[in-house]
Chain A
Amino acid sequence: MENLKALIQRQSGNIIYRFASIKKLLNFDKILKISLFISAALVLGIVLGFVVTLCVASFDFLKSVGFSSLLKDTWNPLTDEFGASPFIFTTILVSSLSLLLSIPFSLSIAISLSDKKGNKLLQSFLNTSLDLMAAVPSVIYGFWALFTLSPLVRLLQTKLGFAPMGVGLFTAVIVLTIMIIPFSAGISREVIKLVPQELEEAGYSLGATRYEVIRSIILPQAKSGIIAGFILSMGRSLGETMAVTMVIGNFNAFPKNIFSPANTISSLIANQFNEASGLHQSALIFLGLILLVITLLVNLAGAFILKGSRR
Chain B
Amino acid sequence: MESIILTIKYLNVYYDNHQILFNVNLDVPEKKITTIMGPSGCGKSTLLRTINRMHEITNMARTEGEILLKGKDIYTMHPEELRSRIGMVFQSPNPFPHMSIYENVIAGYTLKGIRLSKVDKDEIVERSLRSVGLWEEVKNKLFKRGTFLSGGQQQRLCIARALAMRPDIILLDEPTSSLDPAATQKIEELLMKLKDEVTILLVTHNIAQASRVSDYIAFLFLGELVEFGPSTKIFTTPENPKTEEFISGKFG
Could you tell me which A residues sit within 8 Å of B by CB distance? Answer: 116-117, 196-209, 212-213, 216-217, 220-221
In the complex, the chain A residue whose C-beta lies closest to that of B158 is A202
- B97 adjacent to chain A (CB < 8 Å): yes
Q: Counting chain A CB atoms within 10 Å of each CB, which of B54, B92, B94, B165 scores highest? A: B94
Residues B111 and A206 in contact, CB atoms below 8 Å apart: yes
Residues B80 and A201 in contact, CB atoms below 8 Å apart: no
Residues B94 and A206 in contact, CB atoms below 8 Å apart: no
In the complex, the chain B residue whose C-beta lies closest to that of A209 is B80
Q: Counting chain B CB atoms within 10 Å of each CB, which of A116, A203, A204, A206 scores highest? A: A206
For the complex, give the distance between the alpha carbons of A204 and B81 in Å: 11
Q: Counting chain B CB atoms within 10 Å of each CB, which of A202, A209, A216, A220 scores highest? A: A202
Interface CB pairs A-B, < 8 A, 19: A116-B57, A198-B92, A201-B90, A202-B94, A202-B158, A203-B107, A205-B52, A205-B54, A206-B83, A206-B84, A206-B111, A206-B161, A207-B84, A207-B108, A208-B112, A209-B112, A213-B111, A217-B96, A221-B97
B: contact size bracket:
20 to 34
Q: Given the known A-B contacts A203-B111, A206-B161, A206-B162, are A221 and B98 also in contact in the complex, defined by CB atoms under 8 Å? A: yes
For the complex, give the distance between the alpha carbons of A92 and B108 in Å: 42
For the complex, give the distance between the alpha carbons of A204 and B112 in Å: 11
Looking at the complex, which one of B54, B87, B110 makes contact with A201 (CB distance below 8 Å)? B54
Residues A202 and B90 in contact, CB atoms below 8 Å apart: yes
In the complex, the chain B residue whose C-beta lies closest to that of A212 is B111
Q: Which residues of B contact A117 (CB under 8 A)?
A: 56-58, 60
Q: Which residues of A contact B98 (CB under 8 A)?
A: 220-221
Residues A216 and B57 in contact, CB atoms below 8 Å apart: no
Please list the 4 inter-chain residue pairs (A to B) with the smallest Cβ-Cβ separation, ordered nearest first.
Answer: A207-B84, A205-B88, A206-B108, A207-B83
For the complex, give the distance between the alpha carbons of A156 and B110 in Å: 44
Q: Which residues of A contact B162 (CB under 8 A)?
A: 205-206
For the complex, give the distance between the alpha carbons of A77 and B24 in Å: 86
Q: Given the known A-B contacts A203-B111, A208-B111, are A198 and B94 also in contact in the complex, defined by CB atoms under 8 Å? A: yes
Q: Which residues of A contact B97 (CB under 8 A)?
A: 199, 221
Q: Which residues of A contact B111 (CB under 8 A)?
A: 203, 206-208, 212-213, 216-217
B218 to chain A, nearest CB (A): 21
Task: List 8 additional A-B contacts (Cβ < 8 Å) besides A202-B96, A205-B162, A213-B111.
Answer: A117-B60, A199-B96, A202-B90, A202-B161, A207-B82, A207-B84, A207-B112, A217-B96
For the complex, give the distance between the alpha carbons of A175 and B83 in Å: 45
Residues A205 and B92 in contact, CB atoms below 8 Å apart: no
For the complex, give the distance between the alpha carbons of A98 and B25 in Å: 59
B9 to chain A, nearest CB (A): 24
Q: Which residues of A contact B110 (CB under 8 A)?
A: 216
In the complex, the chain B residue whose C-beta lies closest to that of A204 is B57
For the complex, give the distance between the alpha carbons of A213 and B96 in Å: 11
In the complex, the chain A residue whose C-beta lies closest to that of B109 is A206
Looking at the complex, which one of A199, A208, A213 makes contact with B94 (CB distance below 8 Å)? A199
- B241 adjacent to chain A (CB < 8 Å): no
Residues A212 and B112 in contact, CB atoms below 8 Å apart: yes
Mask of B136-153 contacts with A, CB within 8 angstroms, 1/0: 000000000000000000
A222 to chain B, nearest CB (A): 10
Residues A206 and B87 in contact, CB atoms below 8 Å apart: yes
Q: Which residues of B contact A207 (CB under 8 A)?
A: 80-84, 108, 111-112, 165
